[in-house]
Amino acid sequence: MASYKRILVGLDLSEESSQVLEKAGELGKAFDADLSLVHVIEPLTFAYGGDIPMDLSEVQEQLQTQAKEQLRKAADQLNVPAERQHVVLGQPATEIHRLAEEQEADLIVIGSHGRHGLALLLGSTANGVLHGAGCDVLAVRVNVESK
């Protein structure tokens, strides 16, 4: 079995993130590995294609501030220090790959909703991360009903 020393945990900060965090914490303890957390925010201009006639920078800053606070709370559960908590702007799979390489992660842990059919074909963050990662990827099947 592989031994992991640096684990990057991608969180979407939804209620189901606690399940991903729990699994990552177990792995971190089992392997005595350093955990890093990342949440990627897609720039609002990506989502709206620049078609909105207003400056979205203030809204974007508020989203980043809220995400940093939520990530800090998640990190506190596993004693992940501030220097290993990352809120970044960009396309999620791309940014997770970049950070994993930068941190020399040997495992990426992400949540997966287990979509089927058309939703799976259109792609998900988990699928995007899996198909471009330079290290192992663990997709934690999250159960939407559990809390």
- State whether residue 126 is helix, strand or coil: helix
Q: Tell whether the model's pLDDT for residue 21 goes beyond 90.
A: yes
pLDDT higher than 80, residue 8:
yes
pLDDT in tens, 28-56: 999 999 999 999 998 876 555 555 556 67
- Mean local confidence (pLDDT), 17-32: 95
Question: What is the identity of the amino acid at 137?
Answer: V
DSSP helix/strand/coil, 112: strand
Domains and CATH numbers, the chain: 6-141 (3.40.50.620)
pLDDT at 49: 54
What's the CA dihedral at 121, 124, 128, 129 to 10 degrees?
-140
Q: What is the pLDDT of residues 65-97, one digit of tens each?
A: 999 999 999 999 999 999 999 999 999 999 999
Could you tell me if 38 and 96 are in contact, meaning their C-beta atoms sit under 8 angstroms apart?
yes
